[in-house]
C-alpha cells in the first residue's frame, strides 16, 4: 500500500516544485501568454467583425447586382419595344410609299390612256371628216355634172337663203 500513498518528503518537494514553477510562470510567462491570448481573441473578434462587414457588403452588392439586372432587363424590354415600334413604323411607311407609288402609276397610266383615247378619237374624227368630205364631193360632182342640175341647185340655195332671212 505504500505505493498508493506518497511519502511526506516527496509530497513536500512536489509542492515546492509546483509553487516555484507557478511563481516563475506567473512572473515571466503568464503575462505574455495572457497578452497573446488577448491578442488572439481581439484578432478573432476583428476577423468576425470583418466577416460580418464583408457579408453585409456582399448582400449590398447582390442587391445592387439584382437592381442592375432588373434595370438591364427593363432597358432591354424598352429597346425591344422601341425596335418593334420602329419596325412597324418603317413597315407602315414602306406600305404607304408603295401605295402612293402604285396610285401614282395608276394615275399616270389613266392619264396616258385618256390621252391616247383622245388622240384616237381625234384621228377617228379627222378620218371621218375626210371621208365625209370625199363622199360629199363625189356626190356633188355627180349631181352637178350637167348644167340644168347646177342651175336647179343654185336656185334651191337661193330659196333657202331667202327663207332664212
What is the rounded CA–CA span in Å between residue 34 and residue 25?
11
pLDDT tens by residue, the chain, 165 residues: 566 677 788 889 999 999 999 999 888 888 888 899 999 999 999 999 999 999 999 999 999 999 999 999 999 999 999 999 999 999 999 999 999 999 999 999 999 999 999 999 999 988 888 888 888 777 777 666 677 777 777 788 788 878 876
pLDDT reported for residue 117: 93
- Quick check: is 71 in a domain? yes
Residue 52: which domain range? 15-164
Residue 154 · residue 147 · CB < 8 Å: no
* Residues, the chain: 165
- Contact in structure between 138 and 130 (CB atoms under 8 Å): no
Please indicate, yes or no, if residue 8 is contained in any of the structural domains.
Answer: no
CA torsion, ordered 18, 21, 22, 27, to nearest 10 deg: 160
The pLDDT assigned to 47 comes to 95
Q: How many domains does the chain have?
A: 1
Q: Which residue has the cell 457579408?
A: 55
Amino acid at each position: 500500500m505504500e505505493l498508493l500513498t506518497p511519502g511526506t518528503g516527496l509530497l513536500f518537494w512536489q509542492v515546492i516544485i509546483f509553487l516555484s514553477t507557478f511563481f516563475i510562470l506567473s512572473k515571466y510567462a503568464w503575462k505574455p501568454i495572457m497578452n497573446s491570448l488577448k491578442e488572439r481573441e481581439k484578432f478573432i473578434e476583428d476577423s468576425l467583425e470583418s466577416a460580418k462587414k464583408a457579408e453585409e457588403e456582399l448582400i449590398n452588392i447582390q442587391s445592387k447586382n439584382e437592381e442592375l439586372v432588373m434595370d438591364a432587363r427593363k432597358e432591354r424590354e424598352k429597346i425591344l419595344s422601341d425596335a418593334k415600334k420602329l419596325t412597324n413604323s418603317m413597315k407602315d411607311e414602306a406600305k404607304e410609299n408603295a401605295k402612293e407609288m402604285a396610285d401614282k402609276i395608276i394615275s399616270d397610266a389613266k392619264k396616258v390612256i385618256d390621252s391616247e383615247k383622245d388622240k384616237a378619237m381625234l384621228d377617228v374624227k379627222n378620218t371621218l371628216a375626210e371621208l365625209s368630205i370625199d363622199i360629199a364631193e363625189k356626190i356633188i360632182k355627180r349631181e352637178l355634172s350637167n348644167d340644168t342640175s347646177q342651175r336647179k341647185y343654185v336656185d334651191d340655195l337661193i330659196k333657202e337663203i331667202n327663207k332664212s332671212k
